[in-house]
Each structure stands twice: as structure tokens, then as C-alpha cells.
Structure 1
């Protein structure tokens, strides 16, 4: 099970409690800086990696190509980092600067999602 939107908190104890109960945590919504800015999200993921939890996290931006509940043009103006390239262009380099290894990044982006779908199947 993946508990999503965990990237909206910096409460490490809370995140470790979720992992301790057997769930993966979705460190998603990168780019939605109105809730928590990128630096804080990166710091939280880096801390969780330092504590050995890269194998229980998945990363995502939660961006979408179309929304009918916001006026056109509002997203790029209000949330300029909420797009498909933000993780690759901004988040991954910031994680590496914080000491997150390529192996940990691969686990969060490739290995963990694959294991989730192999064990549990699609929704």
C-alpha cells in the first residue's frame, strides 16, 4: 500500500510511523510549492534516505495535463514548478546535493514502484 501526499509534511516521526506500519510513502506533489516548497520537500526526502528509508518511498509530481477545475493559465502562473520536468530538472539534482545516492534515487523511481505493482497488481 502507498500512502499518498506524504510529501506535504516534514514530520519525520509521522512518516516513519507510516513506514513502520508496512506502507510505502508517496513523496509526491513536488512542484505544488503553495503547500510546501521544494527545498523542504527535498530536505524531508533526504532525511528519510539518511535514515535508511529509500526502499519505502516513491517520488512523484502529481502534475496533470488538464484540469477542468482551475481557470486556464492559472497553474503556470500560480505554480510554475508543477510540471512533468520538475523532478528530473530540479528535484533530483537537489537530492544529490543533499547526499542522496543514485542507488537510492533508482529505488524510489524504479525499484519501489515495480515491486508495488509486482506484489499488489494494478488498482
Structure 2
């Protein structure tokens, strides 16, 4: 779980890699704040990790970090740039709903915001239906694919 406004992704990947884990099943969250540093994001993706844009629809100012969450427009432009640079198969999208006030019942965007509002924005930026299917279906499936292929007996023994 990365602090979004710090550039610790390579450090995390170094540790994960030194432990023998497959970086192709590693997700680096809170990539939105580093949207304006494509070299950083491209280097992380080039190592095989997934980059998770999980602050979609989150227009908050984090006073403790003295930082404003990126706008959806900034998020969309950065995601399009990742796709255009060949990293679309390593991008994950999420809303990171973590406060009661984020639920529609309490005036927030709710869980449907990504599909209802952000996907149309990506379409306006030229993201195709096939690319959206990759972002919303194929990429999440691929993150967990190895676990799905592991025989149940091995999973049970690993947790015992």
C-alpha cells in the first residue's frame, strides 16, 4: 500500500522481487498522484507491475499531505498516455471507496461512478471498447490468474 505522493514504487518492487514474487502479479496502488511523472510510471510498468489508478472521482484535498487528488481529467489523460505507450495491459481502475461520505446514501459518488462517469470520459479521450474491456475485465482477471490456477490442495497447504 503505497503513499500516493511519494515515489516508493521501485523500492516496493525491489523488496517484492527479492522475496521471489512475480512482479506480473504485483499491484502498485495510488498511482494517480504520480500522473504527472510518466517516466516514473513507465519504469514501474516496464518492470512488470500493475499500476492501479484507484482515486477516480476523489477530488479531495489531503491536508496532512498538503496535496490535492488529481482530477478525473488528469487521471484520464495519464491513463490514455499509459495505453498509448504500450502499458494498457498493466493498468487497473478503482474508486477506493473508504469513507461513509463516499456512498451515494451520504451524498458521495457511490460504487457506480467509475462505470457511469469515468468510462465515458475515457471514451471521449479515444479509448476504444476493446481497450476498456482490457482495463475493466482482462487486467483484473490477469492479476489473480495464477491463484486461480493453483490446485486447491496447494492453496490449503500454503495457508496451514
Per the alignment, residue 114 of structure 2 pairs with: 87
Per the alignment, residue 39 of structure 1 pairs with: 73
**2:69 matches 1:50:** no
Q: Which has the larger radius of gyration?
A: 2
Alpha-carbon distance, 1:91 to partner: 0.7
TM-score, scaled relative to structure 2: 0.63
CA distance in 1, matches of 2:47, 2:128: 25
The SS at the match of 1:84 is coil
TM-score, scaled relative to structure 1: 0.80
Q: Which consecutive unaligned segments of at least 5 residues does structure 1 have?
A: none
CA RMSD of aligned residues (A): 2.1
Q: Which consecutive unaligned segments of at least 5 residues does structure 2 have?
A: 1-25, 61-68, 149-154, 156-160
> Which of 35, 46, 56 is 1:30 aligned to?
56
- Structure 1 window deviating more from structure 2 (83-92 vs 113-122): it is 113-122
Per the alignment, residue 27 of structure 2 pairs with: 2
Where has structure 1 moved over 4 Å in runs of 4 or more? none
The SS at the match of 1:26 is strand
Which is bigger in relative contact order (C-alpha 8 A, separation at least 6)? 1
